[in-house]
Structure 1
Amino acid sequence: MRLAFLGTPDFAVPSLAALIEAGHQIACVYSQPPAPRGRGQQLTPSPVHAFAEKHGLMVRTPVSMKAPEEIAAFAALELDAAVVVAFGQILLREVLDAPRLGCFNLHASLLPRWRGAAPIQRAVMAGDTVTGVQVMRMSEGLDEGAILLSESVRIGPLDTSGTMHDRLAAVGARLLPQALAQLEAGIAVETPQAAEGMTYARKIKPAEARIDWSRPAVEVDRQIRGLSPFPGAWTMAGDVRVKALLSRVEDGEGDPGDVLDDNLLIACGEGAVRLLRAQREGKAAQDAGDFVRGFPLTPGAALV
């Protein structure tokens, strides 16, 4: 089919690669405009933009898809369908209706749970044991469209948003060509979302990243894993900022934030968490053993 692909971050790249591999004609790739990145803050194309250019695809990076000239340019592509994966902009009805078969979104949750911007992080932070990926027909409402294909993925006790991101991206890249093949053959089944069970995955705010050790260990562990690798849950060890990137819940008692042993067991309001991976500001991330060899935290110390 003749397609447009709208996506921006790393999560979307496997899906674009899968559509190319499946033999679809990618008439145009849309992505967010280049943004300052890295220490030099140089303008850098998004991962999808860079991948598309490497494969010789036409790329457009509109500031807003609501601009009349962008709507007209999109309609002029004469598409069979458009695929949207973490694009980062709202699409108006004129855009959604332009392709012959419509626009379809790959969403990283089991809708209607976790509609919105941060479904992977919110699922881990909430303690969900199962999430998934769904291909959905887009409507004007936020992630409200009918579901074409769905696959569940388990969240394990040591999974982070990072590990789930990679697994869900791979599953989504497998589902999208299947959904498009069904659409092309006229056999796609579109199932309306359930009326109950809707939750909203609001964007992660910086204030959510600081660890409050007075909370129960279960909640602290979910926060650490849900915000890993980005933005990273953090705490202070003296005047040194430390990101906690992986943890597990263990038995332990002490004042919240107290270091209980020589291998990063930290007391919480209820129970304790053991930090399995951490990162000092300005340093590389390290497993716990390497971290404490370079920055010992012994019983009697406290994190705040």
Structure 2
Amino acid sequence: SLKNPEQHEILSQLNADILVVVAYGLILPQTILEIPTYGCINVHGSELPRWRGAAPIQRAIEAGDKTTGVTIMQMDEGLDTGAMLAISRCQIDPLETSGTLYEKLAALGCKTLIETLQQLTKGTLTAVPQNDRDCSYAHKITKSETEINWTESATIIARRIRAFNPSPTCYSLIDGQRLKIWQTSTDTDNPGRGSAGEILSAGSDGLLIQCGDQSCLIIKEIQLAGKSRLPVAEILKSKADMFACGKILGV
């Protein structure tokens, strides 16, 4: 947490011009923030003030945001509340996962950070305060969120599966066994008339699952406990009975 006086002394002896923080997850004390000549800056994976906090990438996908970005901010004693030095934006693709978006933002963050450091040392940057009225908080992901609730709509479930891919990964139960779900799509042509979590069909396209709001989800890639992740079509070759029509996921 850098609150130890010895750690403070070590940083002071570096005579650093600037301190850059990326995905640190803790608030720096004011005594640390005041050490570098140009202060401490943070590379944050969202368009602040939207999605302050621990899981901005996952929460943006889960919420169905169309765009996100990287914010370079001057750190203060709050949680991602400091004045903004630069923002770079990018699209969130329809099939984006947190894994692919992380890679996209990492590259964007490196580029934006270098540009920001160059301008900061030249004195050509103006820090812009955040508007707290527009802020939202990206809460840390809990284990309870990863179990799929089939009474929710297919759109909401599909977003969460992509948001939690590759970690911590969404799952459901079948015959009491945990089933990780990696890839899905929504089926807008089939309103469905089954019970929540019911397997309506199983075939080469995947498992058609009844969700809430008379919506359906197609599960395309899964992982059984202790096994590798595979397309549903491959697993059905040896586990067809396990995924028979009429069975209910979540029990």
Kindly indicate whether residue 83 of structure 2 is the aligned counterpart of residue 146 of structure 1: yes
Separation in structure 2 between the aligned mates of residue 70 and residue 250 of structure 1, nearest angstrom? 55
Structure 1: distance between partners of 2:239 and 2:129: 53
Counterparts of 1:98-113 in structure 2 under 5 Å?
Answer: 98-113=35-50
In the alignment, what sits opposite 2:232? 288
Q: Distance in 1 between matches of 2:223 and 2:103?
A: 21
Gaps spanning 5+ residues in structure 1: where?
Answer: 1-63
Q: Secondary structure at the match of 1:261?
A: strand
> What letter is aligned with 2:231?
D
Amino acid at match of 2:99: G
Q: Does 1:299 align with 2:236?
A: no
Q: Distance in 2 between matches of 1:250 and 1:227?
A: 20
In 2, Cα distance between equivalents of 1:273 and 1:156: 19
Report the residue type matching 2:147 in the other structure.
R
SS of residue paired to 2:182? strand
Residues 19-49 of structure 1: per-residue CA shift (max 9 Å, x gap) = xxxxxxxxxxxxxxxxxxxxxxxxxxxxxxx
Specify which of 171, 196, 221 is matched with residue 277 of structure 1. 221
Q: Which letter maps to 1:179? A: T
Quote how far apart the aligned CAs of 1:146 are: 1.3
1:84-233 mapped onto 2 (5 Å cutoff): 84-233=21-170
Q: For residue 269 of structure 1, report the CA deviation from its aligned partner.
A: 1.1
- Partner of 2:69, secondary structure, is strand
Match of 1:237 in 2: 174
CA contact (8 A) 1:65 1:90 kept: no
Given the superposition, is the C-alpha separation of residues 294 and 107 from structure 1 closer, same or farther in structure 2, using an over 3 Å criterion? Answer: farther
Residue 205 of structure 2 is aligned to residue 268 of structure 1: no
| 1:301 counterpart letter in structure 2 | K
Shift of 1:302: 1.9
Structure 1 runs, 4 residues or longer, greater than 4 Å off = none
TM-score (norm 2): 0.91
Q: Name the stretch that deviates more: 264-273 or 292-301.
A: 292-301
User: Do the aligned partners of 1:236 and 1:303 also contact (CA within 8 Å) in 2?
Assistant: yes
- What displacement does 1:294 show? 4.4
State the match for 2:197 in structure 1. Answer: 257
What SS is found at the alignment partner of 1:241?
A: strand
State the alpha-carbon separation in 2 of the partners of residues 293 and 154 from structure 1.
38
1:81-136 Cα shifts (integer Å, max 9, x gaps): 01000123321001011000110000001111110001111111111111111111
Q: Secondary structure at the match of 2:115?
A: helix
Distance 1:173 1:264 in 2: 40
In the alignment, the residues of structure 2 paired with residue 135 and residue 279 of structure 1 have an alpha-carbon distance, to the nearest angstrom, of 38
Contact 1:279 1:291 in 2 (8 A): no
SS in 1 for 2:246: coil
Q: How many Å separate the matches in 2 of 1:150 and 1:278?
A: 37
RMSD: 1.4
Matched residue type, 1:234: Y
Is the 2:27–2:78 contact (alpha carbons within 8 Å) kept by the matching residues of 1? no
* Alignment check: 8 A CA contact 1:246 1:276 kept: yes
1:283 partner letter: K
Moved more, 169-178 or 188-197: 188-197
Instruction: String of CA shifts for 1:253-273, please: whole Å, max 9, x gaps.
Output: 121111122121111012011
- In structure 2, the partner of 1:29 is none
2:7 to 70, 73, 92: 70
C-alpha separation in 2, matches of 1:168 and 1:258: 37
The change in CA–CA distance for 1:103 and 1:264 in structure 2 (over 3 A counts) is same
